[in-house]
């Protein structure tokens, strides 16, 4: 039988400072890395991102000669390389929500909140850790997808269009266009792919704090990305045009469209950095709501 | 030291805790006793700053939870043993907790050893039995080596050896001068473990006392009598000021009269006795009697002793 004795491990004195953000960030990182779903989700982001880029670039590269004018005009080698982002936005949504709702689901949120006397520290630490992890993985994936995509296009006889080429030049080009990361807008578009996924992650995490249920939080997140656009579509046309550019999904599109090649999006989308600003604003609003509710509600 | 001062907490229309005040002193184990649903867990959550009282104050060593700078180092709690992410190992669960309050990794290993989980520390807690989860919960309460400890029903799911282990552990922790507050719905368990008692029912304080005083002042002696002339005897017992309850088997439970007096009365009434025996109400019965009108969900076998 175990009897209790004076603990041999001396704990550091705790008369100074307080359990704060640094300690909480360490803890959240331990929690994040110690469950399997994190690594599966991150692997899906990387594999789907790079894999889909290789796949669609290969398909499109192989049939350039058969494409009609409209398809050729719309072809954007950067956006094509980021096809996987459509899937990844849901993966990061689930990941961001689960960081919070899995704790509410199991009740372990009460353990988390009983180790700190400032609840907003928990919110901040979760946003920092999941945000940092998703951002790094998303950026690596976005750039890898870009380079893999362009390499596949090159392998299919792709060629860079001369500087100053227009959409007409692209339509009449005999080989599928390829872009370099140094081309106008390309670096920004690829970089903002990661930023878009980061902002969605923070949004999902904050929704998790507001709704506190996995199914509810994920439904809300998917609803914002998939259902909201459908609702806006059935509004009278004039209203649709006023609202659709503010939809989170279209803000994402605005971030990765290379505007120098824009064709069908003219006037429909915000500029890339305005889109970053507005989506950040959405995230901040939900985060503030989450913080307010977290401090007020019983755990 | 845990102090609750006039604490009230309402969820919707349910008053879970009603104007509750008590003190839990350091150095002894204090049992927190009440039927299921009497507000014990709610009170413990309020101590831990998880639920906010509608009115009143709960303090730990004179400070509210929200004013503690290193909470894990000052108060440890086992509230819900199964409130764990099933996919995480016990070691990682404790490590994540330890990191929030700058508790070193060596202490994680130490508490795992203390509760006897070192051999399964790298296993996912989803595979743990309730007993193992209870041990992990106790380890997490001890992690920051706090002076104040709360345990909500810590022996649930433990085998007899585990129950004995918890009892010894709690008394050892109190013996080191810590404040140890343990909830239970089992009076008999508390009689063996605790020195002091806080008894509640429907969120209200019923008694704050020592276990010994509680038993002495609440144990009502009862006399069981069997007689072929039970009806006649009951009349004369009542006439003499005794309380009489007729049991289903025809036996009479008599309160308020000594055994000898019951015998004399039977003799005077000319009634033959087949049995005359003193009964001591068990602790469990005392407790149930005290809280009988405070239990939200009754079964259908009312307690007769002491009526």
CA trace torsion A116, A122, A124, A127 (10° rounding): 160
Q: Which residue has the tokens 């509210």?
A: B64
pLDDT in the model for residue A66: 92
| HSE (side-chain half, CA atoms, 13 Å) at B32 | 30
- pLDDT of amino acid A211: 98
Q: Which pLDDT tens digit goes with each residue over A247-278?
A: 999 999 999 887 555 455 556 788 899 999 99
What was the pLDDT predicted at B156? Answer: 85
CB B87 within 8 A of CB A37: yes
Listed in sequence order, the residues at least 6 apart from B149 whose beta carbon sits closer than 8 Å to its beta carbon are B75, B76, B77, B141, B142, B173, B178, B179, B180, B181
Nearest residue of chain B to residue A114 (CA atoms): B48
Q: B214 vs A38, A111, B207, B210, CA distance in Å?
A: 53, 34, 8, 6
What pLDDT score was predicted for residue A49?
95
| Chain A residues closer than 8 Å to B173 by CB | 4
Q: What is the pLDDT of residues B4-34, one digit of tens each?
A: 999 999 998 889 999 999 999 999 999 999 8
If you average pLDDT over residues B168-191, what whole number do you get?
93
Residue B50 sits at the chain A interface (C-beta within 8 Å): yes
pLDDT of A4 higher than 70: no
Is B300 a residue whose pLDDT tops 60?
no
pLDDT at B305: 42
Q: What is the mean pLDDT of residues A280-287?
A: 98
Query: What does the block give as tokens for B9?
Result: 């907490």
Instruction: Check residue B250 and give its pLDDT.
Output: 84
> Percent of chain A at pLDDT above 90?
73
Question: Do residues B267 and B227 make contact, with C-beta atoms less than 8 angstroms apart?
Answer: no
The per-residue pLDDT of chain B, averaged, comes to 89
- Average the pLDDT over each of A194-208, B136-150, B167-181, B220-234 and give the range with the smallest value: B220-234
Q: Which residue of B has its CA nearest to A299?
A: B50
Instruction: Name the more confident of A126 and B276.
Output: A126
Q: Is B261 on the interface with A (CB under 8 A)?
A: no
Residue A202 in this model has a pLDDT that exceeds 90 = yes
Token pair 């585990």: residue: B162
Domain boundaries, chain B: 2-210, 221-280
- CB distance B51–A12 less than 8 Å? no
Contacts of B86 in chain A (CB under 8 A): 106
Assign A238 a pLDDT band (cuts: 50, 70, 90).
confident
3-state secondary structure of A184: coil
Q: Quote the CA–CA distance of A7 and B178 in Å, as a whole number.
A: 14
Q: What whole-number distance in Å separates Cα of residue A35 and Cα of residue A15? A: 33
Which of A126-130, B177-181, B234-238 is predicted with the least confidence, judged by mean pLDDT? B234-238
User: How far is the C-alpha of A89 from the C-alpha of A94, rounded, in Å?
Assistant: 9
Mean of the pLDDT values across residues B49-58? 96
- Cβ of B176 and A298 within 8 Å? no
Distance CA B104, CA A11 (A): 7
Average pLDDT over residues B131-148: 96
Q: Which of A91-100, A156-165, A230-239, B276-285 has the highest mean pLDDT?
A: A91-100
Are residues B77 and A114, on separate chains, in Cβ contact within 8 Å?
A: yes
Q: How many CA atoms lie within 13 A of A159 on its CB side?
A: 11
pLDDT digits (tens, 9 = 90+) for A30-88: 999 999 999 999 999 999 999 999 999 999 998 999 999 888 888 889 989 999 999 99
Q: In the predicted model, is pLDDT for residue B282 greater than 90?
A: no
Mean pLDDT of chain A: 91
User: pTM to 2 decimals?
Assistant: 0.86
- Whether A207 shows a pLDDT value over 60: the answer reads yes
What is the band of A17 on the pLDDT scale with cuts at 50, 70, 90? confident
Highest mean pLDDT among A227-241, A262-276, B88-102: B88-102
The answer on pLDDT for A139 being more than 60 is yes
Locate the chain A residue with the closest alpha carbon to B141: A111
Euclidean distance between CA atoms B88 and B83, whole angstroms: 12
pLDDT digits (tens, 9 = 90+) for B59-76: 999 999 999 999 999 999
Contacts of B87 in chain A (CB under 8 A): 35-37
The domain B2-210 having CATH identifier 3.40.50.300: the answer here is yes
The band of B185, judged by pLDDT with boundaries at 50, 70 and 90, is confident
- Determine the Cα–Cα distance for residues B84 and B193; give it in Å rounded to an integer: 27
- CA of B124: which chain A residue's CA is closest? A35
What are residue A149's DSSP bridge partners? none
Interface of B with A in 237-256 (CB under 8 A): none
Would an 8 Å CB–CB cutoff place B123 in contact with chain A? no
pLDDT mean over B263-269: 91
pLDDT, position A98: 97
Q: Which CATH architecture has domain B221-280?
A: 2-Layer Sandwich (3.30)
Average pLDDT over residues B138-158: 94
Mean pLDDT, range B270-279, rounded to an integer: 88
The C-alpha atoms of residue A109 and residue A31 are separated, in whole angstroms, by: 12
Determine phi and psi for B21, rounding to 5 degrees: -130, 135
Q: Report whether pLDDT(A101) > 90.
A: yes
Cα separation values, B127 from B87, B89, B264, Å: 9, 10, 64
User: Which of B66, B83, B96 lies closest to A110 in CB terms?
Assistant: B83
Element (H, E) at B180: strand B179-184
Helix (H), strand (E) at residue B206: strand B204-210
Which burial class, exposed, middle or buried, applies to A9 when counting CB atoms under 10 A from its CB (0-12, 13-18, 19+)?
A: middle
Percent above pLDDT 90 for chain B: 65
What pLDDT is stored for residue B294 in this prediction? Answer: 58
Measured between alpha carbons, how far is A93 from A96 in angstroms, rounded to an integer? 5
Give the integer Cα–Cα distance in Å for A38 and A95: 7
**Residue B208, token pair as written in the block:** 């704050």
């Amino acid at each position: 039988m175990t009897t209790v004795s004076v603990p041999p491990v001396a704990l550091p004195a705790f008369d100074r400072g307080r359990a704060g953000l640094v300690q909480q960030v360490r803890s959240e990182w331990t929690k994040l890395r110690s469950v399997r779903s994190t690594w599966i989700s991150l692997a899906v982001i990387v594999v789907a991102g790079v894999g889909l880029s290789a796949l669609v670039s290969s398909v499109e590269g192989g049939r350039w000669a058969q494409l009609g004018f409209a398809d050729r005009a719309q072809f954007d080698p950067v956006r094509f390389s980021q096809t996987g982002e459509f899937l990844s936005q849901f993966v990061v949504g689930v990941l961001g929500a689960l960081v919070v709702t899995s704790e509410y689901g199991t009740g372990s949120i009460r353990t988390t909140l009983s180790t700190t006397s400032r609840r907003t520290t928990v919110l901040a630490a979760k946003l920092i850790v999941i945000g940092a992890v998703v951002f790094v993985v998303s950026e690596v994936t976005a750039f890898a997808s870009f380079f893999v995509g362009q390499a596949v296009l090159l392998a299919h006889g792709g060629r860079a269009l001369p500087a100053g080429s227009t959409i007409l030049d692209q339509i009449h080009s005999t080989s599928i266009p390829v872009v370099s990361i140094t081309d106008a807008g390309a670096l920004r578009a690829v970089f903002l792919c990661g930023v878009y996924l980061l902002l969605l992650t923070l949004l999902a995490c904050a929704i998790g704090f507001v709704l506190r249920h996995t199914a509810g939080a994920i439904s809300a997140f998917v609803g914002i990305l998939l259902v909201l656009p459908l609702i806006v579509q059935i509004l009278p046309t004039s209203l649709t045009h006023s609202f659709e550019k503010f939809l989170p999904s279209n803000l994402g599109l605005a971030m990765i469209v290379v505007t120098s090649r824009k064709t069908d999006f003219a006037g429909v989308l915000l500029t890339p950095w305005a889109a970053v600003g507005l989506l950040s604003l959405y995230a901040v609003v939900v985060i503030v709501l989450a913080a307010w509710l977290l401090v007020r509600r019983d755990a | 030291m845990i102090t609750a001062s006039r604490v009230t907490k309402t969820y919707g229309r349910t008053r879970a805790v009603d104007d509750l005040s008590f003190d839990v002193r350091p150095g002894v184990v204090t049992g927190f006793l009440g039927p299921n649903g009497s507000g014990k867990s709610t009170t413990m959550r309020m101590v831990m700053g998880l639920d906010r009282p509608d009115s009143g104050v709960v303090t730990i060593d004179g400070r509210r939870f929200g004013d503690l700078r290193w909470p894990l180092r000052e108060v440890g709690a086992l509230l819900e043993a199964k409130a764990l992410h099933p996919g995480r190992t016990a070691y990682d669960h404790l490590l994540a907790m330890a990191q929030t309050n700058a508790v070193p990794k060596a202490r994680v290993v130490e508490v795992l050893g203390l509760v006897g989980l070192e051999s399964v520390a790298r296993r996912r807690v989803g595979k743990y039995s309730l007993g193992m989860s209870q041990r992990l919960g106790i380890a997490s309460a001890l992690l920051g080596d706090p002076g104040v400890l709360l345990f909500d029903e810590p022996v649930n799911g433990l085998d007899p050896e585990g129950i004995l282990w918890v009892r010894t552990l709690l008394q050892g922790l109190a013996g080191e001068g810590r404040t140890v507050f343990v909830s239970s719905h089992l009076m008999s368990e508390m009689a063996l473990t605790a020195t002091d008692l806080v008894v509640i029912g429907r969120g209200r304080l019923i008694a704050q006392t020592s276990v010994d005083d509680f038993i002495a002042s609440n144990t009502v002696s009862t006399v069981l009598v069997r007689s072929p002339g039970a009806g006649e005897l009951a009349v004369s017992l009542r006439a003499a000021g005794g309380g009489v309850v007729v049991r289903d088997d025809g036996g009479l439970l008599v309160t308020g009269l000594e055994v000898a007096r019951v015998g004399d009365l039977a003799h005077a009434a000319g009634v033959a006795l087949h049995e005359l025996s003193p009964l001591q109400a068990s602790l469990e019965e005392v407790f149930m009697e005290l809280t009988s009108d405070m239990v939200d969900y009754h079964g259908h076998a009312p307690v007769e002793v002491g009526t």
